Every structure is written in structure tokens, then in C-alpha cells.
Amino acid sequence: MTGPDKGSRLPFVKGELGSAMRFGLVGIAATLTYLGMSLLLLGWGMAPQLANLAAFLVSTAASYLGHYFFTYRVSGGAFGRDTGRAAGSHLRLSTRFIAVTILLTLFCSALHQLVLWAGASPRQAAFAVTISYPPLSFLFNHFWAFSRGSHAQPESGSA
């Protein structure tokens, strides 16, 4: 058996499948971050809407950093090896990631309302959002926000 490719530490998790699996792991971690922050802030007596907003912002930052360093390994690997070369891409990638997050938040809010207007229960509306967000998030982030062309940096000093 040969070693793993440069894009994956596990030889059986390469290419698009590897990206999708890493994307899912980061999504689960971001979701748990949201839940943990929400419960912590609510436990401290923070107003529910403010706790929700703060937890959402923290989990969004965790999601971006997880995708940057782990899912798409923009900087050459986990935890920022070769950060000097990739640092310039943070502004472009984070702007795209935030745009995707805003777009999907608006879409899911509209979807939630449409499902309610169609006569479904709030739980059914939440389920519709829950099953819609992850695949749409993967598609927009994978093929636009973090697409290889969006963070490719020219090699410096090549002979």
C-alpha cells in the first residue's frame, strides 16, 4: 500500500469524498460548538436571542477555521503550516464564506416560513431547514467559496 496523497492523511479518503467527509466533520464540530455555547450562555443568564446570536457567531468562526485548515487545507495542512503564503487568501475566502453563510441563512429563513405557510408544524419546518442546509452549504463552499482557484497562490522562487 502506498502512502496517502498530499490532500489527505488517510489513503482511503481522497478527492471529493474526502472533502465531503471532512466538511461533515467540521459541520458536526460547528454544530456542537453552537449547542455548547448556547447552553453555556443561557446557563449564565444571557437573554435567549443574544445567546443565540453569540453562539451562532462563534460557531460560524469555528466552521470557517475548520474548513480553512482541515477540510480544504488552504495553508498547506492543519494548524497553518506555510501560513505566510496563504495568509493573503484569508480575506478572499472569509468574505466568500460569510457571503455563503448569509445567503443560506436568508434562504433557510424563507424556506422555514414557506413550510409554515404551507400548513406544516414548526418541527416540520425545522426539519426542512435541517436537511436543506448541509448539502447546500457543501455545494456553495466547495465549488465557490473554497474552490481551488479561489485560494491558489503562485509558487515563489521557483527555478
- List Cα–Cα distances, 1 to 5, 9, 153, in angstroms: 12, 14, 31
Average pLDDT over residues 118-122: 93
What is the per-residue pLDDT for 149?
65
pLDDT over 60 at 60, yes or no: yes
Beta-carbon contacts of 28 under 8 Å, excluding residues fewer than 6 positions away, are none
d(CA 54, CA 159): 49
What is the per-residue pLDDT for 89?
81
Q: pLDDT tens for residues 65-89?
A: 999 999 988 765 444 444 444 554 8
Q: DSSP string spanning 34-81?
A: HHHHHHHHHHTT--HHHHHHHHHHHHHHHHHHHIIIIIS-TTSSTT-T
Q: pLDDT tens for residues 12-46?
A: 456 788 889 999 999 999 999 999 999 999 999 99
- pLDDT over 70 for what percent of the chain? 75
pTM of the model: 0.73
Average predicted confidence (pLDDT) for the chain: 81
CB 90 within 8 A of CB 105: no
Return the exposure string of 110-131: e unless at least 16 CB atoms fall within 10 Å of the residue's CB, then b.
ebbeebeeeeeeeeebeebeee
What is the per-residue pLDDT for 108?
92
pLDDT confidence tier of residue 1, bands split at 50, 70 and 90: very low
What is the per-residue pLDDT for 50?
93
